[in-house]
Amino acid sequence: MKSLTLACGLLWGHRESSITATSRHYVDRLFDPDPQKVLQGVIDMKNAVIGNNKQKANLIVLGAVPRLLYLLQQSSSSLELRTECAVVLGSLAMGTENNIKSLVDCHIIPALLQGLLCPDLIFIEACLRCLRTVFISPVTPVQLLYTDSTVIPHLMSLLSRSQRTQEYITQIFSHCCKTPEHQTVLFNHGAIQNIAPLLISPSYKVRMQALKCFSVLAYENTQVSMTLVNVLVDGELLSQVFVRMMQRDQPIEMQLTAAKCLTYMCRAGAIRTDDSCIVLKTLPCLVRMCSKEHLLEERVEGAETLAYLMEPDVELQRIASTTDHLVSMLADYFKYPSSVSAITDIKRLDHDLKHAHELRQAAFKLYASLGSNDEDIRKKITETENMMDRIVSGLSESSIKVRLAAVRCLHSLSRSVQQLRTSFHDHAVWKPLMKLLQNAPDEVLVMASSTLCNLLLEFSPSKEPILESGVIELLCSLTQSDSPALRVNGIWALMNMAFQADQKVKVEIVRCLGTEQLFRLLSDPDTNVLMKTLGLLRNLLSTRPHIDQIMSSHGKQIMQAVTLILEAEHSIEVKEQTLCILANIADGNTAKELIMTNDDMLQKIKYYMGHSNVKLQLAATFCISNLIWNEEDGSQERQDKLREMGFVDILHKLTQASDPNLSDRAKTAMQQYLA
């Protein structure tokens, strides 16, 4: 094999070598003045290039393509010649990706699209066949189909011409529908009405390509999905047609694609998750696709689609978890390349290796989806053979896709208190997770930091070692990220970390984050970030010595921030959280004075005690209650000052409040005065 390539390479060096010479001869004949000879030349060329990639490359290099395109477009050319040109171009496109690139560079697409306007069916079919081959190649820019707005409607009108046009056009559509905009263009030009009848075409290829079209059209598209459920094909609902295509005697490709269509329609909200066509047909079909007897590609696609189908629905997750031993079936996804394949044949090993990553990431995704809600399922997953080890090694795999899926899986499992306490700690998952966080794309970072949040919950035994590994700095840097999701996760993790933490940790957080950053976060446009930052502040300001210490060093800024938030337009939740911080401050020994000396702040508290929202009233009352608490130094003075400001009257009124919590709180506060 190697020597052969070498030989060809040498031949390339000689311009007058025999291969190039014959190729040149083919090209020369295209320029013959006699049209009959040109036709014969094209036909000979057609026969010469079939299955011969080298010949194809030669002809392209020698400039056959522009000439063929010229002949194809020339209205003076005979129809036969034009058709043969399209056939040869189609043949050239069947070669390597480089061939396709050259063809696209020669503007083959507009030329062929122009050719579709010719009334002759044979010619149209040849053009479509070539277009199909060009468009299904990953190197062709999909957008080229949409540049001329008359193309799509014309293609729709050609759908009725023949089975071949149907096959080629639907195949083009299914490969060129990549974005919501594409979906909308196709939808607006009647793709659904035009393609639906093809689902019962006598030709398997047409049925299959039409089905693929629907799967790409319906993906994450509510408008298409909602339309699809009401479409009738020969008096039968489309969903029933899809169900029939999922029957177990149908080819696997068809079963799988039909299941995808129904999955997408379901996720887009067009079919309920408890519909029998989902529960009893689609889900079992997808579970079946995961079984060992199918091709690796099919198993990957099946698992990914199933993960997507049941992601939001715990009932589907429960059913899937008991269907056909899915959880243990997925464990097989990690056994590639198997030791057997390595020995028996190289081809198989190569094939296995190629798919090993895909298989692993699909399995992780499916595990993540399965375990996202139900504690029993998570337990079942972690008890699967070597599961935690696999996740741990998945976290450090070279393929980003696998890393991402592994961390998603870990994240899903980390929602379990029990797993956090046991298997997560036993396998020290925090280590690879921390490593993953050092340098990873945002996608991975979001998931990893989110998982870290759970690992930093106070009951998690991993919290301590993570703290010691210098996580604070890492998290603080996350809060400076451009991505809101990362900022939330960073601050959230810090919040969890600060919960009931010792002084040292809190000081470290404040030091590392810096007040400036803290205040920047308090004015973050993302409410989630703001809420978690307030939560962090609240956690930092707990237990009296901590409150006093932090307020003594950062009191001024904190009070300023609190004032700003209370004055700005914010949701009730934000204000409540802020008042709670204030209440914490009021609990400090020395920190109290920061409020007592701030009349403006006291007026604000008073305002919130009379607010229409009970939660805010409660938080404000709590704050006052802390300020007037007996048995503390200077309580008498504070009580007096607040009485003067009219707080007693308000408290008195609140003891009559209809909310029992609020009236209780007010009563307790009043008692401080009576004592």
3-state helix, strand, coil in the chain (%, to 5): 75, 0, 25
The correct pick among 105, 324, 345, 649 for binding another protein (CB under 8 A) is: 324
The correct pick among 248, 502, 504, 660 for binding another protein (CB under 8 A) is: 248
CB of 278 to another protein, least distance (A): 12
Q: Does 375 bind another protein (CB under 8 A)?
A: no
Q: Does 323 bind another protein (CB under 8 A)?
A: yes
**Are 412 and 372 contacting, i.e. CB atoms less than 8 angstroms apart?**
yes
**For 505-523, b where at least 16 C-beta lie within 10 A, e where not — what string?**
bbbbbbebbeeebbbebbe
Spatial distance between the Cα atoms of 318 and 409, rounded to a whole number of angstroms: 17
Nearest residue (CB) to another protein, 323 versus 589: 323
Of 267-275, 319-327, 355-363, 516-524, which segment contacts another protein by CB under 8 A? 319-327
The site string for another protein over 422-461 (x = CB under 8 A, - otherwise) reads ----------------------------------------
**Are 341 and 285 contacting, i.e. CB atoms less than 8 angstroms apart?**
no
Chain centroid to Cα 85, Å, comes to: 44
Of 189-197, 280-288, 454-462, 560-568, which segment contacts another protein by CB under 8 A? 280-288
The correct pick among 47, 98, 160, 247 for binding another protein (CB under 8 A) is: 247
CB of 284 to another protein, least distance (A): 6
Q: Does 284 bind another protein (CB under 8 A)?
A: yes
CB of 410 to another protein, least distance (A): 25
Q: Does 571 bind another protein (CB under 8 A)?
A: no
Spatial distance between the Cα atoms of 32 and 22, rounded to a whole number of angstroms: 16
Spatial distance between the Cα atoms of 666 and 651, rounded to a whole number of angstroms: 5
CB of 367 to another protein, least distance (A): 17
Q: Does 322 bind another protein (CB under 8 A)?
A: yes
Nearest residue (CB) to another protein, 240 versus 613: 240
Spatial distance between the Cα atoms of 161 and 123, rounded to a whole number of angstroms: 12
Nearest residue (CB) to another protein, 288 versus 604: 288
CB of 212 to another protein, least distance (A): 22
Binding footprint of another protein, residue count (CB under 8 A) = 13
**The two three-digit tokens of residue 30, written as one number:** 């295209």
Q: Does 528 bind another protein (CB under 8 A)?
A: no
The correct pick among 107, 178, 272, 325 for binding another protein (CB under 8 A) is: 325
Nearest residue (CB) to another protein, 314 versus 346: 314
**The two three-digit tokens of residue 98, written as one number:** 């480089």
Residue 42 φ/ψ, nearest 5 degrees: -65, -40
Of 10-18, 174-182, 244-252, 339-347, which segment contacts another protein by CB under 8 A? 244-252
Alpha helices, H only, 334-395: 339-344, 346-370, 375-382, 387-395
480 DSSP assignment? T
Spatial distance between the Cα atoms of 425 and 269, rounded to a whole number of angstroms: 39
**The two three-digit tokens of residue 296, written as one number:** 């690796």
Spatial distance between the Cα atoms of 356 and 482, rounded to a whole number of angstroms: 34
Nearest residue (CB) to another protein, 302 versus 432: 302
Q: CA nearest 423: which of 366, 384, 367, 370?
A: 384
Binding residues vs another protein (CB under 8 A): 247-249, 279-281, 284, 319, 322-325, 329
